[in-house]
Structure 1
């Protein structure tokens, strides 16, 4: 069961101080160049100066800085263009920024490839959507996303069920096709019951849960959980205990991640529409 590194203990997660007056972005070589497209990584509360550094998009990582407005801070870098290709270097840069922010802040993550026309439009976004974005930050405060995927070998489970229940063996007078249909129904029923029991065991330990469509023939479950930081270890221990009870399924447990599965904010800017996932 795989697991990524969790945030360091004792990390701060932002606060709810009143909105502050807009202040200029930190003076960097890139922010004093003529204004142009800005790549948007995520949004946090504007509680303190953010020193992110050169960890953004590109083979040579771009300088990432905060644009502050209306008590919020958007983390941006100069965009390489209006469209950002999903190259490995760009994807890794986007991930580096969100993971860095997540260590000490509650983050509204933004979908990869979100480009704003200018820094001025970033500020307009923060002003226009300030109420909704602040509400989302309140809901996400001190929480992160954990992912759980469960895979199976259908034939392995079928063999297990036949060993457990002799009635699932093929009868002498039973056509092969009929036996296959009967066994398949038993396999599907058992897998469904096992996944429901798994989710019921984890649901009380999470603030929210989302199920995504399984990917590929072997995946039974593709779920995301919104978990409070102090409950990360108990949640992981519960997953491990459930996984240890069965050798029929393979568990892939990942995170913590920025809570992409639990953000649904449409920014609604004319001409340059953008949305959060």
Structure 2
């Protein structure tokens, strides 16, 4: 049997806990270290490959353990050599693990993506003459660079107008969702079609209120495609770079 361990997440208890992950058939268990625990399973190198089955098994484990614990998640595909490797990791970072678990206790992450309907947005664009008037209003008529700037604006006006509308609407969607969250982060127009990609750290008791606000917003913006994910461990709210072995 391989001595490699697959790491899922750190929890704030060293009490025994185990279950069988049905997708892979692997036994998943809590490895107690320094008063905390690391959720692990026996693994081989192929179990860390980004294949559909591995990703499905990883997500199934994460969904299972967040029902019972506050989880400090480990990145997908993280392997370590034996229990000694886990203990070395905790010897180095137990203090930081404990602080982060305290900060995240009782909290989960939800994700929201809003897909920008480009075709509908282009239909709703003002005509080119109206756009030119809008752009001219931003220039000082008679200045030396007026004609040059106007030509640049004329070429980019439709794109700039679309981006401005997308940014305004993304912020109007993000704001009420972030008001429910303990912490929130988002990116706007990460790609031309992805208007908003947001992550929200929520108290467990606020998850239903967040879903209700999401549904209200989706109804208010029928021309956009909304995607809700979670609850998940707080992947976007934990940044700890760890290493074991020689530096």
TM-score range, shorter-chain basis?
A: 0.7 to 0.9
Structure 1 unaligned segments of length 5 or more: list them: 1-32, 171-176
Task: Say if 1:62 and 1:77, in contact at 8 Å, map to a contact too.
Answer: yes
User: Are 2:200 and 1:233 equivalent residues in the alignment?
Assistant: no
The structural deviation recorded for 1:140 is: 0.8
2-structure distance, mates of 1:83, 1:60? 10
User: Are 2:121 and 1:146 equivalent residues in the alignment?
Assistant: no
1-structure distance, mates of 2:196, 2:207? 20
1:25 aligns to what?
A: none
Which moves more between the two structures, 43-52 or 128-137?
A: 43-52
User: Are 2:20 and 1:53 equivalent residues in the alignment?
Assistant: yes
Paired residues for 1:80-159 under 5 Å: 80-81=44-45, 84-159=48-123
The structural deviation recorded for 1:180 is: 6.2
1-structure distance, mates of 2:37, 2:14? 9
1:66 aligns to what?
A: 30
SS at match of 2:37: strand
Instruction: Summarize the Cα distance change of 1:166–1:202 in structure 2 as closer, same or farther, 3 Å threshold.
Output: farther
SS at match of 1:156: helix
Paired residues for 1:192-207 under 5 Å: 192-207=167-182
Task: Say if 1:145 and 1:257, in contact at 8 Å, map to a contact too.
Answer: yes
Task: Determine which structure has the larger strand proportion and give its number.
Answer: 2
2-structure distance, mates of 1:153, 1:82? 39
**CA deviation map 1:162-217 (0-9, x unaligned):** 39x993599xxxxxx97663333222211111111222222211111122575653
**CA deviation map 1:54-113 (0-9, x unaligned):** 44xxx6422112110111111111121387222222211111111110011100111111
Paired residues for 1:209-248 under 5 Å: 209-212=184-187, 216-248=191-223
Task: Determine which structure has the larger helix proportion and give its number.
Answer: 2
2:149 aligns to what?
A: none
2-structure distance, mates of 1:60, 1:256? 22
SS at match of 1:75: strand
1-structure distance, mates of 2:158, 2:189? 22
Task: Say if 2:21 and 2:57, in contact at 8 Å, map to a contact too.
Answer: no
**CA deviation map 1:106-142 (0-9, x unaligned):** 0011111111111111122223211100111111111
Structure 2 unaligned segments of length 5 or more: list them: 134-151
TM-score, length basis structure 1: 0.74
Task: Say if 2:18 and 2:27, in contact at 8 Å, map to a contact too.
Answer: no
2-structure distance, mates of 1:200, 1:54? 38
